[in-house]
Structure 1
Amino acid sequence: MKQSFDRIRTWDSRSQAHSSVDKNLRQALSEMDKLKDKLSLTGAVIEKAAYIYRKAIEKKLVKGRSIQGLVAACVYAACRDTETPRTLGDVANGINIRRKDVARCYRLIFRELDLKVPVADPINGIPRIASSIGLGEKTKRKAVEILRKAKKIGVVAGKDPTGLAAAALYLACITEGGNKTQKEISEASGVTEVTIRNRCAGLRVFLEKQD
């Protein structure tokens, strides 16, 4: 990990380190380093986030904007690019700013940098949510089964992947006799109980048709 950050920091090592841009980049890298530990991110995610931040600097998107907001947006974009299951809420909490501020900055860089972000697979979010609240393998397997069936007929298209993962886990809890509430799964996943209820309703309709 130290080698990864050394490579990132060499990007500004050839120039004088006294300009506002250099200071901005160094502070941004420091914030990313903290987020890496808080969110248990890989070096690949942080390197991608740093690359996106450099592009934001080149486009002059950092002027007059919060470094923390842009850092959080770049980290979130990197998570999506690498299909690392972290929500906007996870990143916002990790850097201690409002979720809507991260969302605003993310929309900005997504639009101005023309980011090509792959559609995340909701199944990838199941292990993290399940492990954080102690759900067993049987429940996880059932949630994966629900989502795989739903994907085959296009039920998941256009839906937030983390919300779908949370809803599938809640339905799996009910099916397998689990004792986790919507509130517990909401807190573990970073999505609202309303989102879980809405996604559960859609998945239930699908499951009933399949029975």
Structure 2
Amino acid sequence: MSDTFCQACKCFTEVVVSDHATGGTSSCSECGTVVVDEVPEWVSVPDREDPTREPSKPVGPESGVSGSNGAAASDEEASPARRGKRRRRPRPPPFDGFGSIAAVSDRLGIVAAIKDRANDIYKKVVDQKPLKFRTPDAVVAACVYIACRQENKPCTVKEMCSANGATKKEVARAKDFIMKYLETEGQEIGTIHAAAFLRRFCSVLGMSNIEVMAAQETVKKSEELVLRRSPISLAAVVIYIITQLSNDKKGVKDIAFVTRVAEATIKNSYKDLYPHLSEVIPAWFAKEEDLRQLPPA
């Protein structure tokens, strides 16, 4: 402490240093007025020298510096090779079309001859540019579908979709392109008839041999009519009619589940075929009296 003249209280007083860390703030012992405010040369006050200067950031885990030597280890400062290695994702394995055809064939119980034909079709069309932009599963389903038609053992598009997960729209587009391509190559696709589906559907529904024979004869006569119904829809409605004339009746819901034809489609097809029942149903299976007992259209 030292004596100095205080301008506030107009007297000599002892100066008290209140900031021992810096030694820069002294005040009057009588009135407490700051009389000396000097900063020693060894004290650095960045904020007073440059108010716009940002305070220094502490070095820690969040600063992007690790290790005792202060080496930078942030993601931004990492080498490009290391960043690319971290971000690289494993590539999916190449699509195995032949393996997928084998899987679809196993799920649908398709014989080896149809599977081999589907493999041949896939070999011919897999490199075509329009097909490269299609879903691979849809292309496989279309190949199996066409092979079944060529072997006179057709399956429905919905069955193909259920076997490998492709959508009906995708399979239909791939099927149309492949069929046009094969026709230009001189291959016959084959025509679908309702009778080709009957025996398989009747077997799943547990129908007797007499009912199957009646259904086949009814379908054959129904195809001569101009009903504008798909073969699958015609097969489904004929099965419905034959089972309604037998002791083991099948509901529309059960037939729709097996044939994958919508219940509304079966009912509408029944309305179209109802006026012609006496023409298409064999007389040895049902008489006129039996036909009158059928549900009205």
| Cα root mean square deviation, aligned | 2.1
5+ residue gaps in structure 2? Answer: 1-93, 281-287, 289-297
Alignment-derived partner of residue 162 in structure 1:
232
Q: Which protein has the bigger strand share?
A: 2
Matches within 5 A, 1:124-143: 124-143=196-215
Matches within 5 A, 1:1-211: 24=95, 27-114=96-183, 116-151=188-223, 154-155=224-225, 159-208=229-278
Residues 86/110 of structure 1: CA separation in 2 closer, same or farther (3 Å cut):
same
Residues 178/109 of structure 1: CA separation in 2 closer, same or farther (3 Å cut):
same
Q: Counterpart of 2:200 in structure 1: which amino acid? A: R
Which stretch of structure 1 is more off in the superposition, 86-95 or 136-145?
136-145
- Is the 8 Å Cα contact of residues 130 and 140 (structure 1) preserved in structure 2? yes
- Could you report, residue by residue, the CA deviation over 1:56-101 in whole angstroms, capped at 9, with x for unpaired residues? 1243343232211100011111111111131001111011222222
**Following TM superposition, by how much is the alpha carbon of 1:166 offset from its aligned partner in structure 2, in angstroms?**
1.2
Q: Which is greater in Rg?
A: 2
Residues 63/124 of structure 1: CA separation in 2 closer, same or farther (3 Å cut):
closer
- Is the 8 Å Cα contact of residues 162 and 189 (structure 1) preserved in structure 2? yes
- Is the 8 Å Cα contact of residues 85 and 162 (structure 1) preserved in structure 2? no
**Following TM superposition, by how much is the alpha carbon of 1:109 offset from its aligned partner in structure 2, in angstroms?**
1.7
Q: Which protein has the bigger helix share?
A: 1
**Following TM superposition, by how much is the alpha carbon of 1:209 offset from its aligned partner in structure 2, in angstroms?**
5.1
Residues 156/107 of structure 1: CA separation in 2 closer, same or farther (3 Å cut):
same
Q: 2-side partners of 1:83 and 1:159: how far apart? A: 20
Q: 1-side partners of 2:228 and 2:123: how far apart? A: 30
% identity of equivalent residues: 26
Residues 117/197 of structure 1: CA separation in 2 closer, same or farther (3 Å cut):
farther
- Is the 8 Å Cα contact of residues 173 and 179 (structure 1) preserved in structure 2? yes
- Could you report, residue by residue, the CA deviation over 1:143-168 in whole angstroms, capped at 9, with x for unpaired residues? 112112223xx226864222211111
TM-score (norm. length: structure 1): 0.78
Q: 1-side partners of 2:274 and 2:178: how far apart? A: 36
Q: How many residues align?
A: 185
* Higher RCO structure (Cα 8 Å, ≥6 apart): 1
Q: 2-side partners of 1:195 and 1:142: how far apart? A: 22
Alignment-derived partner of residue 7 in structure 1:
none
Residues 106/158 of structure 1: CA separation in 2 closer, same or farther (3 Å cut):
farther
- Could you report, residue by residue, the CA deviation over 1:122-157 in whole angstroms, capped at 9, with x for unpaired residues? 112111111212222232222112112223xx2268
- Is the 8 Å Cα contact of residues 131 and 174 (structure 2) preserved in structure 1? no
* Counterpart secondary structure, 1:62: helix
- Is the 8 Å Cα contact of residues 182 and 188 (structure 2) preserved in structure 1? no
5+ residue gaps in structure 1? Answer: 1-22
Q: Counterpart of 1:177 in structure 2: which amino acid? A: N
* Counterpart secondary structure, 1:184: helix
Q: Counterpart of 1:204 in structure 2: which amino acid? A: Y
Q: 1-side partners of 2:255 and 2:140: how far apart? A: 27
Alignment-derived partner of residue 12 in structure 1:
none
Q: Counterpart of 1:88 in structure 2: which amino acid? A: V
- Is the 8 Å Cα contact of residues 227 and 272 (structure 2) preserved in structure 1? no
